[in-house]
Amino acid sequence: MILKFKEISNMAVFKSFQWDDIVLDQNGRSIVFKQVNILYGRNYSGKTTLSRIIRAYETGVLSDKYKHPTFRLVLDDGNELTEADYPQKPLIARVFNEDFVRDNLQFAVNPDSDILPFAILGEDNAKIEAEITELKKILGANDGTKSTGLYKQMLIDRDALIKANESSQAAKTALEKQKTAKATGRGTGIKYQFNRFGQQNYNIRDLNKDIEYVCSDSYVVPPETELAMYEESITEQKKSDAREIKAPNLRLQDLIKDCKELCGRKIGTSEKNTGISKKCCSRGLG
């Protein structure tokens, strides 16, 4: 869409026209065209000249009434068009002015003139109709009995999405139950194994923090030997005190006395060996 005729020079009443200097609101700010615009003014005020500029982009031809014309249009997409661009017809436009009447409707003023067609109903419209039909076939629809084309695929994808969302929600619910049981499940939860994990007030928030930690890039799994050492450490228990060991009463002085007596006897009679044996047995040495 055209926002404004930024510059026009050497075209009828427009000698050196600057839109931003002339087309202003009551506060002195430049204004632009809207979706629908009405231009009105006295004869020779420039209305036809403006229509000719637009029509040049429709036909690729500019009226030869002007010598060395220049102009610049600003579009709503930020691009600008000048007099150098109209031969390529870069703007979609339809203009009904006196030039259109002269070129196409001479029969209105001269009955002997030929009627030139300016709207063709036939080949182009049939081509457009065929394209519309093909697009409708691709898009598809629901005729009440079956669905076709992209419409059918859309229904399939929608059902798949609903099922996927249901499965996802079910999985999330199951996971939350597992996490709750792991954190605070009666008897088996971490909260109730404080001898092993060391925290009596453990809850699901703590579990989520632990999961986030072990899933982070900075977490490194300890080697098996280190894990075994930790396992052994947390399973250690305090042993009961060892029972008191009583020292035996050896009666060393009696043994020493008997040994001296026995060792002082003369060897030679059969009674001596028997005596030694009896003495030793009586002292607990036999």
Count of CB atoms within 10 A of residue 18's CB? 14
Contact criterion met (CB below 8 Å) for 5 and 50: yes
Helix (H, G, I), strand (E, B) or coil at 75: strand
pLDDT of residue 270: 53
Instruction: Give the C-alpha separation, 71 to 63, whole Å.
Output: 14
- Give the distance from CA 119 to its chain's centroid: 51
Is residue 268's pLDDT more than 90? no
Q: What residue spans define the domains of the chain?
A: 2-108, 120-202
Instruction: Count CA within 13 A, CB hemisphere, residue 267.
Output: 3
Count of CB atoms within 10 A of residue 197's CB? 14
Contact criterion met (CB below 8 Å) for 103 and 115: no
pLDDT of residue 150: 94
239 secondary structure, DSSP code = P
| pTM over the 0.85 mark | no
Best CA proximity match to 31, nearest among 21, 42, 45, 46? 21
pLDDT in tens, 25-37: 999 999 999 999 9
Nearby residues of 181 by Cβ (< 8 Å), 6 or more positions away: 188, 189
Instruction: Give the C-alpha separation, 97 to 91, whole Å.
Output: 17
pLDDT band for position 83 (cuts 50, 70, 90): very high
pLDDT band for position 145 (cuts 50, 70, 90): confident
Mean pLDDT of the chain: 86
pLDDT in tens, 210-233: 999 999 999 999 899 998 888 888
Nearby residues of 282 by Cβ (< 8 Å), 6 or more positions away: none
Helix (H, G, I), strand (E, B) or coil at 3: strand
